[in-house]
Amino acid sequence: MSQSWREARGSFSASFAPPALWLGLFFIVPMLIIWGYSFGRTIGMTEIAVTGSLSNYARAFQPIYLSILFKSLSIAALTTLICLVVGFPVALMMTFASARGKVWLLLALMLPFWTNLLIRTYALMAVLRTRGFLNSSLEALWSAFGGHFAPLPMMHNGFAVILGLVYVNLPFLVLPLYAALDRLDRSLLEASLDLGAGHIRTIFRIVVPLAAPGILSGVLITFIPALGSYLTPDLMGGADNQMIANVIERQFKRANDWPFGAALSFLLMYLTLISMVVQNWASRQQARSGL
């Protein structure tokens, strides 16, 4: 006997209400409070008065903060590009691997998530620091040939920040790419190769256009966390390589300027929403062109 719509709606509401209540109390309400703070000012040490002023947002457009924001956008974009260049061949290899090979490759890809991000970052720092594993290995190799080795400066600079962000965010790009590539119609690839297109041309003329939605999703999923990264620039970057998330952290903890920190946070969120809108628009355009 089929269940009536009224009964089904009641069951759905009963199962949906607890997570919706949890989401509202512990996510939406705190976000609304912080959003309200972005239109206020600090009174004394702990009091915040919501005045409706846009002064915090106007302050965020001062040259010093705009330069940090543009630097953060550049670092996030470069990180995403490197992840795409490195991750696409990995995802392609996973797609054409055997069933057992796919399992092992997925396991290797997911293995870093079993370890805390802080531990992984410190492990990478142990490799890159002045007396770290990489410099010590290069010094031993150089000394074996009788030369003098000067340690390479691989920490507290832009190189360390980008390498750390790629190390952290690479799986976020590979997984959507693999999901998109794994659904490709293999007969199209075989037809392209049979017609003499070659492997490189087949990848750029067949694989990339068909996998465009997965590529766009992977780029967005990688770009957004890279833009809002705090831990990696804080530990691996120097004073000249701080990102916008580090500025936000200082406003909340050291400067005790919650309204300005809230305004910077929501500017970052607005950029995220714009990125999602652009990605959605590009996906729709790609779907229409496919039709």
Query: Would you kindly state where each structural domain of the chain is located, as residue ranges?
Result: 60-290
The answer to whether 214 and 179 are in contact (CB under 8 A) is: yes
Q: Give CA separation, 289 vs 72, 185, 211, 218, 220, in Å.
A: 33, 18, 14, 21, 21
Q: What string of DSSP letters covers 270-281?
A: HHHHHHHHHHHH
Q: Which of 222, 286, 192, 206 is nearest to 76 (CA)?
A: 222
Per-residue confidence (pLDDT) for residue 291, from 0 to 100: 45
pTM for this prediction: 0.85
Positive or negative, the CA dihedral 49, 55, 60, 64 is negative
- DSSP of 213-279, one letter per residue? HHHHHHHHHHHHHHHT--HHHHHH--GGG--HHHHHHHHHHTS--HHHHHHHHHHHHHHHHHHHHHH
Predicted confidence at residue 72, as pLDDT, reads: 92
Return the pLDDT at 5: 52
Of 214, 266, 204, 272, nearest to 32 by C-alpha is 266
60-290 architecture in CATH?
A: Orthogonal Bundle (1.10)
In this prediction, residue 289 carries a pLDDT of 66
- Euclidean distance between CA atoms 256 and 55, whole angstroms: 17
d(CA 216, CA 226): 15
Angle at 280 between CA 277 and CA 286, to 5 degrees: 140
Task: List phi, psi (to 5°) of 266.
Answer: -75, -25
What span, in angstroms and rounded, lies between the C-alpha atoms of 41 and 12? 43
What pLDDT, on the 0 to 100 scale, is given for residue 82?
A: 95
Q: Convert the pLDDT of each residue in 82-95 to its tens digit.
A: 999 999 999 988 88
Instruction: Answer whether 178's CB lies under 8 Å from 92's CB.
Output: no
Record the tokens describing residue 115, joined without a space.
């370890």
Rounded to whole angstroms, the Cα distance separating 265 from 220 reads 18
Share of the chain above pLDDT 70, in %: 94
Contact residues for 248 (Cβ-Cβ < 8 A; gap 6+) = 230, 261, 264, 265, 268
Q: Pick out the chain residues at pLDDT < 70.
A: 1-12, 286-287, 289-291
Question: Tens digits of per-residue pLDDT, 225-263?
Answer: 999 898 999 999 877 788 999 999 999 888 888 899 999
Q: How many angstroms separate the Cα of 130 from the Cα of each of 72, 144, 151, 267, 289?
A: 26, 19, 6, 37, 52
* Cβ 112 vs Cβ 173: under 8 Å: no
